[in-house]
Structure 1
């Protein structure tokens, strides 16, 4: 059963005291758990479970006809997937231990306070979702490709690392828990967020917002909205993005740049599922799934105190780390072909032929801007193309510009490790030429570019070696 379906299953309250049933159901419904079934006769429990799926059962321990402990044993035997919470007015440690050993997930003492009841029910649902997730993840990891590849049509790849991410997304997409997407700039974090939303099959839309640069008030107003008269200029009610997302997905990009004050509000939204519009003292219920992304090292930020640790651990319930383009060079031919065709279509040009030397050249380029940078390079090359073959000039210019920067960093930040006996200049030159040819797959033009010399100069050195 999908996780989203598990979270929407009803809670079954079983107690022979109608007043307790009524008060407990009010507490659950007020917290957003709207589907609650109440039974005051323990004999009706098993027939109901045989006909209807239930997420969590809350049992009174002492009831006429069939006791809560007897029901617990029968539910554990016939419906082991259902989470059972026991309630009793008797503080008996031995009975509590027996119930937990029989399969109860929690044990509450009457009178049960509101917070304790809600915490127990949410924890029970979370445990059911986690069990389903582990089973699904095990099934997904036994295959090499995603079960539903159409959800990933917008992502061009043949990389095993990306396929592993797709299978993980399939396993966790329908979970109600947040997802943290990390990766360098330009690696496709928003595409992954869209894939998660599409795979989750949630009924609402995906609402995306970049939270970088938002101060605390702007963050609150953007996400939570405001009441009329909340501040100067608030002459009408504004629904925030959380409300607009409905039961869909709220995607927060660049989460690493949030202020600490905004982090507290986001943490409350994730923990309690509630939020307050500016100027309102009445909480609202969040129904959207939260997906966040950042290019920052959030763990490092949490360790140095610029990002709340409790928020970090709450966000990384499901964590997707996207590889940089230089770590998936096998995708370069597919990405280049896709971007060339896309650029030719936009520019109303005939799709040019891609020279094989281009792939050898790109394979040795570090792509600090990742896929977004590659798309820009290809678009520029197609724009400048006057014939039928894609020119290499724009790629070489980008490589030279990046190479100058890398050379400066290399000279200042890198300490060369030499052997005890220094190699001669000839030995060093031979080693550099051999490595450049290896990286260029034997293409002398590309190897010469890597060495910063002309092809003719490389040919002369190769002839001298012979």
Structure 2
């Protein structure tokens, strides 16, 4: 009765905070003391608090039918139904539920037989607590990955979004971005880190916000830009400190990890982190523990970690500038946000959105835009991505006076655009690299004119700008091209 009362109080407390993992972990043992001690160890050492209990093996199958159980920790020697009998029933009726045997029997033959029957792992009760918790954590991670794969297959095959409202503030109609949203929904229940990659200005912060909202966590989203933080400031910012930890530490201060408890910790510009700070972050992710400065008592992290970078971490890792073990720890879930130049269809939507935003902020009417403007923007590379487009729109709106929005700001941007850099060993003139015989110079000119008109959607003024010639010169070339076609 005392154990039942304790578990009831504990479950009420757990219901008021975030549960980990997303599925339940069922402990089955006829010894109440062992159930209680294992529950406390799982929560303190592994952060595992989504726990169910059963002292009577006859109730296990009914619990599995009623509750969202994903992992069972099962004793072998119990009255009524033995653990081996239960293992066979669970594997047969609930093959997606993982079973770990935690038994007092230290017999190799018994362990081998349980694995043969379908158990995920086998531990002896007298095993080291750290080894047991580690094995259970691995089983939870494996189950999370399996569930995520199921979710991804379902979403990609059905091409559905279950919670499209969460992505409403990300202005897009791009199929690649929709795939990103589907992936985020699939991994929302996971506790594993998420690595967001993408060029500066693509909206990585919005993706981090969406991940946090999708995860349904009670705690806050805490954002930290780690670029430029030295090792001591990084540790103090993330882990906090005790009073007297260093000169000037007049009182204790909670770090960002603690402030994000029950929520999400977002570390931006992770690619700029020093190697020393990378070690500290790796330990936090691997062990799930950290020490505030001046403390010898560890605290558990109770937040999901999301990181972002505009760097290519694979290249930094190969160059020795980013730890390989941290890189692979972070890329369990990886999101690549495409640049704006690969989302040309989003430009008109974003233009309309930013025009409305700028008009409201500057207390002006939303202007009319020329038909040429979306075409002009579609031929711009946008090295600064969405952030640059927003800046261009606000700049144009600040100078706007007439009914029609001036094109001058946008023309200047296009005029200053540099040709994309070509990597060494890459053919500068890729269209001709496979040709045995080079085309004649006048033929190349005709090809360029046709391509420019295609990109400008037959707008001669814009096509001439793309070619770097005057409009009359382009018109003359087009007439000559048309005359040659007529002769042929």
What is the TM-score with the length of structure 2 in the denominator? Answer: 0.88
1:339 deviates by 1.0
Q: 2:41 aligns with which of 20, 27, 37?
A: 27
CA 1:10–1:438: 2 relative to 1, 3 Å: closer
CA contact (8 A) 1:6 1:129 kept: no
CA contact (8 A) 2:358 2:393 kept: yes
1:22 deviates by 4.8
Local SS of the residue matching 1:7: coil
Q: Are positions 1:452 and 2:465 aligned together? A: no
Local SS of the residue matching 1:135: helix
1:85 deviates by 0.9
CA 1:166–1:34: 2 relative to 1, 3 Å: closer
Structure 1 distance, partners of 2:420, 2:72, is 65
Alignment of 1:118-267 (within 5 A): 118-267=133-282
What is the TM-score with the length of structure 1 in the denominator? Answer: 0.92
Structure 2 distance, partners of 1:250, 1:408, is 36
CA contact (8 A) 2:21 2:48 kept: no
CA contact (8 A) 1:29 1:36 kept: no
Q: Which residue number corresponds to residue 440 of structure 1?
A: 456
CA contact (8 A) 1:193 1:291 kept: yes
1:461 deviates by 2.7
Instruction: Count matched residues.
Output: 461
**Residue-by-residue CA offset, 1:38-76 (whole Å, 9 max, x unaligned):** 555544544554554444322222334332111211222
**Residue-by-residue CA offset, 1:335-380 (whole Å, 9 max, x unaligned):** 1111111111111111111211111111111111111111111111
Alignment of 1:235-314 (within 5 A): 235-314=250-329
CA contact (8 A) 2:202 2:387 kept: yes
Q: Are positions 1:7 and 2:10 aligned together? A: no
Structure 2 distance, partners of 1:408, 1:122, is 46
CA contact (8 A) 2:422 2:428 kept: no
Local SS of the residue matching 2:100: strand
CA contact (8 A) 1:197 1:248 kept: yes
CA contact (8 A) 1:224 1:276 kept: yes
1:294 deviates by 0.3
CA contact (8 A) 1:211 1:252 kept: yes
CA contact (8 A) 2:20 2:50 kept: no
CA 1:9–1:141: 2 relative to 1, 3 Å: closer
Q: Which residue number corresponds to residue 415 of structure 1?
A: 428
In the alignment, structure 2 segments of 5+ residues that lack a partner are 1-17, 484-488
Structure 2 distance, partners of 1:400, 1:453, is 12
Cα RMSD over matched residues? 2.5
CA contact (8 A) 1:298 1:312 kept: yes
Q: Which residue number corresponds to residue 395 of structure 2?
A: 380
CA 1:214–1:407: 2 relative to 1, 3 Å: closer
Q: Which residue number corresponds to residue 320 of structure 1?
A: 335
Alignment of 1:107-122 (within 5 A): 107-122=122-137
**Residue-by-residue CA offset, 1:85-121 (whole Å, 9 max, x unaligned):** 1133444444323312322111113421111110121
CA contact (8 A) 2:24 2:67 kept: no
Which stretch has the larger CA shift, 123-132 or 371-380? 123-132
1:26 deviates by 3.8
Alignment of 1:320-399 (within 5 A): 320-399=335-414
CA contact (8 A) 2:172 2:346 kept: yes
Q: 2:72 aligns with which of 40, 45, 57?
A: 57
CA 1:44–1:152: 2 relative to 1, 3 Å: closer
CA contact (8 A) 2:19 2:49 kept: no
